[in-house]
């Protein structure tokens, strides 16, 4: 059973990566504008003054315009730093400097605040490969965010960023997979 679920996840991730690679520059620009507007609306609707988000890699929903807006609004934004033990440290960063992290994704430069720093935010924005109709999030297979969310005693709202086609009927589930409270696409915000 576990190998079947893992195989289904690998196949779905490969399909989703290919779809993301095939987006045109015009489709990416339109999606970025939609993500930015919807993330701004979410922050305002939740009255969030602090949040955690990630620096997007090339084929991920582009978080940079939103992060620039959040910085300009004076919001506290924690950015993840991956660790060898599979956990995440957090930093505020300087909104400019970054490096390639352990997982090969961009990470901010700044003072390390430790894994529990995320406990004090009002909103958590996470990457995802897909989210299903029940709010189950399927990540990219490294488990960083599942470990983080699974270890939190009191978790603020968690929203995943996915392209519209990545909101699916169901995703393969393993015991460690963590649900989200909602998702943000370029065209909508859905709360579960």
pLDDT at 180 over 90: yes
Q: What is the pLDDT of residue 1?
A: 47
The answer to whether the beta carbons of residues 43 and 75 sit under 8 Å apart is yes
181 Cβ neighbours under 8 A, 6+ residues apart: 135, 157, 158, 159, 191, 192
pLDDT at 109 over 90: no
Mean pLDDT across the chain, nearest whole number? 90
The residue segments making up the domain with residue 32 are: 2-191
Question: What global pTM score does this model have?
Answer: 0.91
Q: Are strands 137-138 and 130-132 parallel, antiparallel or unpaired?
A: antiparallel
Identify the burial level of 94 via C-beta atoms within 10 angstroms of its C-beta, where 0-12 means exposed, 13-18 middle and 19 or more buried. Answer: exposed
What is the tally of structural domains in the chain?
A: 1
Average pLDDT of the residues in 90-115: 79
Q: Are strands 167-168 and 158-161 parallel, antiparallel or unpaired?
A: unpaired
| pLDDT, tens digit (0-9, with 9 covering 90-100), for 44-88 | 999 999 999 999 988 999 999 999 999 999 999 999 998 888 889
Closest CA to 156 of 80, 54, 53, 74: 53
User: Which CATH number goes with the domain that contains 65?
Assistant: 3.40.50.10420
The rounded Cα 85 to chain-centroid distance in angstroms is 20
Closest CA to 60 of 191, 160, 187: 160
């Amino acid at each position: 059973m576990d190998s079947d679920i893992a195989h289904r996840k690998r196949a779905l991730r490969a399909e989703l990566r290919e779809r993301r690679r095939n987006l045109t520059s015009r489709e990416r620009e339109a999606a970025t504008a939609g993500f930015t507007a919807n993330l701004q609306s979410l922050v305002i609707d939740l009255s969030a003054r602090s949040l955690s988000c990630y620096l997007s890699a090339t084929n991920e929903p582009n978080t940079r315009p939103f992060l620039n807006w959040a910085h300009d609004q004076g919001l506290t934004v924690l950015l993840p730093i991956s660790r060898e033990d599979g956990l995440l440290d957090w930093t505020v960063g300087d909104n400019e400097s970054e490096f390639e992290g352990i997982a090969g994704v961009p990470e901010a430069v700044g003072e390390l605040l430790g894994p529990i720093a995320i406990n004090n935010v009002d909103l958590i924005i996470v990457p995802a490969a897909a989210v299903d109709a029940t709010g189950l999030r399927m990540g990219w297979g490294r488990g960083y965010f599942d470990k983080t969310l699974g270890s939190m005693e009191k978790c603020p709202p968690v929203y995943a960023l996915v392209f519209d086609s990545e909101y699916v009927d169901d995703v393969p589930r393993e015991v460690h997979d963590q649900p989200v409270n909602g998702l943000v696409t370029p065209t909508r915000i859905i709360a579960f």
